Amino acid sequence: QVQLVQSGAEVKKPGASVKVSCTASGYTFTGYYLHWVRQAPGQGLEWMGVINPGESSTRYAQKFQGRVTVTRDTSTSTVYAELSSLTSEDTAVYYCAREPGGVPAGDKNFDYWGQGTLVTVSS
């Protein structure tokens, strides 16, 4: 069965960086896009970016351009999202989510989600 397992909660100081991981299993890792979506406390969902694990190509939301980097390690079926120059507004739960349908077309939705990783930014 498809599973996305994320790394544990993080506490960071303003100005620091954080790197969250998402390990996939139960399907061909390189065959499906993986996205990152975040949710600030009491707020809505916000799309951050996507990676094609097969080619390592990425696309980011304009809001996060220059501050987020998504990478992958095919040997461990893991994708990473690193966010730099953290502020208190980056305090949120970060989710990875799979896009069904397979590369390159994709199905433009998110069928499986990780359990979420809480990142707290506080001095």
* Beta strands in 9-106, from DSSP E residues, in sequence order: 10-12, 18-25, 34-39, 45-52, 57-60, 68-73, 78-83, 92-98
CB closer to another protein, 19 vs 63:
63
Q: Where are the alpha helices (DSSP H) in the chain?
A: none
Rounded Cα distance between 92 and 39, Å, is: 5
Closest approach of Cβ 75 to another protein, in Å?
26
Pick from 23, 82, 102, 113 the residue near another protein by CB under 8 A.
Answer: 113
100 upstream amide cis, omega within 30 of 0: no
In the bound state with another protein, the residue whose beta carbon lies nearer, of 29 and 95, is 95
Q: In angstroms, what is the minimal distance from the CB of 16 to another protein?
A: 25
| Residues between 50 and 109 with contacts to another protein, criterion CB under 8 A | 50, 59-63, 95, 97, 107-109
Q: Is 5 in the site for another protein (CB under 8 A)?
A: no
For another protein, give the closer residue by CB, 16 or 61.
Answer: 61
Neighbours of 90 (CB within 10 A): 21
For another protein, the binding residues (CB under 8 A) are: 35, 37, 44-47, 49-50, 59-63, 95, 97, 107-111, 113-116
